[in-house]
Every structure is written in C-alpha cells, then in structure tokens.
C-alpha cells in the first residue's frame, strides 16, 4: 500500500521500518526534518507537509505528542485533511483525550473523509519485539480496510467501538501501566529499606506471579547503570497521560484513586529533579522519601 506517516519521534521511527519491511511504500513528514534521516536511508520518501503526505497515500498515520499537535497536523494549514483522498483513511495513533479525538474526527466527517483513533499500546522496546498492540475506534469498514497495515505494525489490532472509544481505552491501559510500574518501585524500595539487595529484589519480583511484560523490560532500568539515557517515556510525558485520565474520570463521574496516587508520585519525581528520566525512576523517589541514601 501507499502509506503516509506524520510524526517521526521514538515510536514513529520504530513503526516506519516495520511498514517498509512489509513492502509498503511509505512517505513521511516530521516537524524537525533531521529525525527523518535514518528513515530516508531505509527507503522512506519525504514530503514537505502533512498535506503532501496525504496526497501520496492511501492511508495516513500520525503519532504526535498531544491534542494540539494532532489538530495542527490534521486540520491546520497544509494538514492531512486538506490532502486526504476521497477513499483515504486517516489513523491517529497519539494518546489524547477521547473528546479531542472525536472533535477532530467530526471535522473529517464534515469533509466527507474518514478518521480513526488508533492509539498504539507499547514502547519502542515492545514495538521492536513485534509485541505492540493497536486499538481502533471509528468506522468498522475503514478499520477492516486498514487492518492488514496495522498488523504489519503490531501483533494485534482490536476494534474497540465508535469514534473516541479507542482513545478512551488507551487511557485506561496507561492508567494500569502507570500504577503497575509505580507499585513496582514502591515494592523494591520497601524491600531495600528492610535490607534486601536491589538486584535480588528485582530478580525476585521478575520471577514471581507479579511479573508482567512491562516490568520485564522496564524493571531492570533501576539497577545500577541501567537507566536509559533516552527514556522510553519520561516523567513529564507519563504525567500528561495521568492528567488525561483524571479529567476523563471527572467527566464520567467515576473514581480514580490509583490514578490520583500515580499523579502525585509523578509530582514527587518532578520535585526531586527526576523528571527527565524514564518514569520507572519513581523507585528512586520512594527511596529518597524513605530516607535511603542515594
């Protein structure tokens, strides 16, 4: 297929090679063009605007930081909507509020075009392992048309329901992920304070019934010298997701006690100057708050 990709950050840079390796012709765009250099060497074509990407594509993906960024690339001057073909499909993979996704989708519908919310669940690590998953909301027939390309990116592509529901489901998944990783940090800090060596504590958790895929690749980051220089998702990025979760919970009138606790731990990490690290650094925040030496 002719596939467009807008947003070539950590996840986009991992998705495009998978599409290329599957035989798709990929045209990409990114706000900072230098990030595209490795992908151009791998065979991706470059377009000067999101509109130009859409004009050359049957389906167009985007994955950017937040809702204003999605609106800019989708609806802005020379945005995706202005170039999307009549039978084209736009799939936004960003993590944004359901209402924001629905509002953008409505603009596409008014113009006779199709947008799906298609957030991806995973990290650059799980993406490279072929273990990421994609949730999709919107027109079911459009989902079925795009599904082959989705399965070239991820192990699973699941139709969630109407527009915005995949974005909502992604927030629910990220809530669970946040709480799990933060609870891991709390557990290891507790074990350490009581005299268990960190390496032994981490090994014990990762070989227990509490082990999970996210802890399997993120847990070892807290060992000496293992924290990645470039975080998979830093404290600030993850807290952005918690803000979205808490606002969604407010609108729906449902309690989100653990999301509130997770958000407070991200505040603690920021207050301790740890915000540029992967959010598994919550473990270090627990250690410091518990009086353990650095």
Residues catalogued as catalytic? 170
DSSP helix/strand/coil, 110? helix
Q: Which residue matches tokens 């699941």? A: 158
C-beta separation of 140 from 159 below 8 A: yes
CA 91 – CA 60 distance, rounded (Å): 6
The HSE-up count of residue 163 (CA atoms within 13 Å, CB side) is: 19
C-beta separation of 174 from 241 below 8 A: yes
- DSSP for 82-100? HH--TT-EEEE-S---HHH
Q: Which residue matches tokens 């070989």? A: 207
Q: Which of 176, 118, 130, 125 is nearest to 155 (CA)?
A: 130
Residue 2 DSSP label: E
Pairing of strands 133-137, 120-121: antiparallel
Two tokens, residue 292: 């353990």
Two tokens, residue 55: 């004009």
CA 192 – CA 7 distance, rounded (Å): 41
CA 144 – CA 59 distance, rounded (Å): 12
CA 257 – CA 274 distance, rounded (Å): 23
């Amino acid at each position: 297929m002719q596939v467009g990709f807008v947003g070539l950050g950590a996840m986009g840079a991992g998705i495009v090679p998978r599409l290329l390796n599957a035989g798709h012709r990929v045209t990409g765009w990114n706000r900072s063009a230098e990030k595209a250099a490795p992908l151009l060497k791998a065979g991706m074509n470059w377009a000067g605007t999101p509109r130009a990407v859409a004009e050359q594509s049957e389906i167009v993906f985007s994955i950017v930081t937040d809702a204003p960024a999605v609106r800019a690339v989708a609806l802005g001057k020379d945005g995706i909507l202005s170039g999307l073909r009549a039978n084209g499909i736009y799939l936004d993979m960003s993590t944004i509020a359901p209402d924001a996704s629905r509002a953008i989708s409505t603009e596409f519908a008014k113009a006779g075009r199709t947008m799906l919310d298609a957030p991806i669940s995973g990290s650059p690590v799980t993406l490279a392992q072929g273990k990421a998953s994609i949730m999709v909301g919107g027109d079911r027939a459009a989902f079925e048309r795009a599904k082959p390309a989705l399965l070239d990116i991820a192990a699973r592509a699941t139709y969630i329901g109407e527009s915005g529901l995949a974005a909502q489901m992604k927030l629910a998944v990220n809530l669970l992920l946040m709480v799990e990783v933060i609870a891991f940090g709390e557990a290891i800090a507790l074990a350490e304070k009581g005299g268990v060596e960190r390496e032994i504590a981490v090994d014990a958790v990762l070989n227990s019934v509490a082990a999970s895929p996210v802890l399997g690749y993120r847990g070892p980051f807290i060992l000496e010298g293992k924290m990645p220089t470039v975080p998979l998702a830093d404290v600030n990025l993850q807290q952005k997701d918690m803000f979205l979760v808490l606002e969604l919970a407010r609108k729906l009138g449902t309690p989100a006690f653990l999301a509130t606790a997770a958000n407070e731990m991200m505040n603690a990490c920021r207050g301790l100057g740890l915000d540029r690290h992967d959010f598994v650094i919550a473990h270090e925040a627990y250690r410091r708050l518990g009086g353990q030496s650095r």
